[in-house]
Structure 1
Amino acid sequence: MSYTTQMDAAKKGIITKEMEIVAQKENMDVKKLMALIAEGKIAIPANKNHKNINPDGIGQGLRTKINVNLGISKDCPNIDVELEKVKVALDMKVEAIMDLSSFGKTEEFRRKLIDMSPAMIGTVPIYDAVGFYDKELKDITAEEFLDVVEKHGKDGVDFVTIHAGINKETAEVFKRNKRITNIVSRGGSLLYAWMELNQQENPFFQHYDKLLDICEKYDITISLGDACRPGSINDATDACQIKELMVLGELTLRAWERNVQVMIEGPGHMAINEIEANMLLEKKLCHGAPFYVLGPIVTDIAPGYDHITSAIGGAIAASHGADFLCYVTPAEHLRLPNLDDMKEGIIASKIAAHAGDIAKNVNGAREWDNEMSRRRQKLDWEGMFKLAIDPEKARRYRRESMPEHADSCTMCGKMCSMRNMNKIMEGKDINILRED
């Protein structure tokens, strides 16, 4: 029996090789996985043309995944630098990379990225449109926007961010409800500007069925972008954010009717006490579709430390149902991240995702922590390093300050609680002041 997309296969009761791989990774019964894909609660972004993909699932009951944003810009157009970041990100086992290139040889970078990456690849086609056509934004036609999506599909892109929810109705709600930071989504602001300049409906909303044709053809997952995501905690959970979310819920159902997989994108900047409610709203309004969040960044005052502000929000979001975290680096709001910024962002997001998985009781999440605790109790330093989320940094810290006694560290020395409790539990004496 033939099928067009992972969702189409799932509805027909066909277990694909991608489903088998994901089920094994997640230690989930493959028939349960298939049922959740058929319902739209899990997506496996895997373009038919991405030949070397090692697929991952995103959604209900699965590990929280993380995404890394990379790509060239007009101010930083060095492809080799970005490809080096790609290599390191893949070495760090990220599940997804988004190519946000917006200048120059975007096609060259995108194709190299897809060829070398077993991780899923995402793009924001509207970023590519201005450079690809060498036209001012207002002069690009609706058909040309869709043609860029088709081009990305042919190249093997697994998921595309499409800001289809900022239609005329949503724009009117935005105009009536003032914000401090207006529209901070880059793609969302470009589409809003195009609509205002041309006095026309959002082309991705107006021609949504044509967009679905393209996505079904290549099995591209639509990541429905949140043009109205809050760019400050003041703007969170306001009228236009919720209005757009309602539109995205309607677009989700239309996509599922065509067997096109969907993810929903979410905030953004948001106070801690609003995160849980936002996760519930998305799952309710968008029918349980996987939720992909940027942050949320929980305070606006920490430029240079937004990998921390977002990890706080990401952990809370994941614990309440977010399925996919977009990393945030220390360079957020300041500049294009360098290699070290990227590493810090990845580690912070991995910590947040894992913390969320513990709270969600994801299969096997706690066992990692429990095994680390057992190694600590035994003062098994090498075992601890192997289990660490960043073994290199853990080894370096220990190496930089070696203790007199190997069964301790330079913080506590022979007063180490683990060392002394082990001795007492074994019926031995404790010699803190005496030599061994």
Structure 2
Amino acid sequence: MIRRFVLDGCKLPVGNVPLYQAFADSIKKYRNPNKLDPEYLFELIERQLADGISFMAIHCGINRFSIERLRKQGFRYGGLVSKGGTFMVSWMEYNNCENPLYEQFDRVCELMKKYDAVLSLGNGIRAGAIHDSHDRAQMAEMIINCELAELGRDMGCQMMVEGPGHVPLDEIEGNIMLEKRMSGGAPYYVLGPLPADSGAGYDHITAAIGAANSARYGADLICYITPAEHLALPDENDVREGVRATRLAARIGDIAKYPERRELEKQVALARRDSDFEEYFRLSMFPEKMRQVRDSRTPENKATCTMCGDFCAMERGHALFKNDIQGDKCRKTVENSNACE
């Protein structure tokens, strides 16, 4: 019911994680998620696709080999942080069986093809702490997911790879390079990454820093994080703040990658320089927030803001260079040389 409500109310592509419902249903039916019937899992995947899901995060890259790497390295500082991934590892250990999503990968791909959906290879053993970044267990799953991305593409399935969780800032570029190299350039859906573990309460900012760098280095899809991450289920305001921070991160990354994206930033700077607040609002990402802040602290001099008031640097600069800022002269100079002379 919830899934169909979301699909009916949204024009954008909607993705989900089928393992969540599969294990939840098994708990209701058997009071034990480890009694999940693999056939029911595949039936559920098809039912969700038939509802209109556009992409699915499916944990195909967890197998007995990757679990053995986790055990031999002595577990982790941050433990296992993927809900679907951890339930699947538990199911495999309880039943002493291989992951059916890995074992029957061709069947997963056929379902995705049938409904023209994208298979996003879930990152079930992603690092949940920067000290676990690029450990053997994470790398084992990443290698498998990259192999599966190529196999799925050869079968005519649309593929993405997910990762990497918590990653120090200096390792983000290398992580993306590895994914692109090993997968033959498959689109990379980054979860965060969070370059610090100690920012709870502001993890939307922590993640935005990681996401901006990821976008800069070639990530293709960014997952938003809310201020409530690691603490609680987000409320509506948490979601709004998380999405805004992630949109900003995506723009920062794109500005670094694509020089043409800087033209808008130039126009924003000119509007701010000229104290043209209406144009400043119109060109910026969050005009409602800007108006709210300005209206809450209205200056006597409408040409300024209350940050500097009568000591406004912009006004003083205009007074100093008034003979050089006649009409559109300075704007044209900026457009021609990127410097105001």
2:60 aligned with 1:199, yes or no?
no
* Conserved? CA contact 2:195–2:210, under 8 Å: yes
| Match for residue 178 of structure 2 among 277, 281, 284 | 281
TM-superposition CA deviations, 1:103-158 (whole Å, max 9, x none)? xxxxx111111112111100100001133453321111211111111011100000
Asked if the contact 1:245/1:286 (under 8 Å) is kept, the reply is: no
Per-residue Cα deviation, 1:340-393 (whole angstroms, up to 9, x for no partner): 11111011101111110011117x421221121121122111111122222111
What corresponds to 1:326 in structure 2? Answer: 223
In structure 1, C-alpha distance between the alignment counterparts of 2:316 and 2:171, rounded to whole Å: 44
Decide whether the 8 Å contact of 2:60 with 2:122 is kept in 1. Answer: yes
For the 8 Å contact 1:312–1:352, the answer to whether it is kept is yes
Q: Matches of 1:203 and 1:217 in 2, distance apart?
A: 19
Aligned to 1:129: 22
Residue 189 of structure 1: CA displacement?
A: 0.4
CA contact (8 A) 2:271 2:280 kept: yes
Q: Which has the higher helix share?
A: 2
Range 197-206 or range 257-266, more displaced: 257-266
SS at match of 1:268: strand
Of 126-135 and 254-263, deviating more is: 126-135
Name the residue aligned to 1:418.
314
The residue number in structure 2 matching 1:390 is: 286
Instruction: Give CA deviations for 1:297-320 in whole Å, capped at 9, x if unaligned.
Output: 111112111011111111111111
Distance in 2 between the 1:143 and 1:366 partners?
51
Are positions 1:427 and 2:336 aligned together?
no
CA distance in 2, matches of 1:365, 1:143: 48
Percent identity, please. Answer: 40
Q: TM-score normalised to the size of structure 1?
A: 0.71
Quick one: which amino acid aligns to residue 293 of structure 1?
A: V
Match of 1:236 in 2: 133
CA shift for structure 1 position 165: 0.5
Alignment of 1:398-409 (within 5 A): 398-409=294-305
Which blocks of at least 5 consecutive residues in structure 2 are unaligned?
325-341
Which residue of structure 1 lines up, in the alignment, with residue 78 of structure 2? 181
Task: Report the alpha carbon displacement of residue 270 of structure 1 after superposing the two structures with TM.
Answer: 1.3
Q: CA RMSD in A?
A: 1.3
Q: What CA distance in whole angstroms lies between the structure 2 residues aligned with 1:293 and 1:125? A: 19
Count of aligned pairs between the two proteins: 320
Larger radius of gyration: 2
Q: Which moved more, 1:249-258 or 1:190-199?
A: 249-258
Structure 1: tracts of 5 or more residues without a match: 1-107, 429-436
Match of 1:55 in 2: none
Aligned equivalents of 2:73, 2:218: Cα separation in 1? 28
Is the contact between residue 163 and residue 226 of structure 1 (CA under 8 Å) also seen in structure 2? Answer: yes
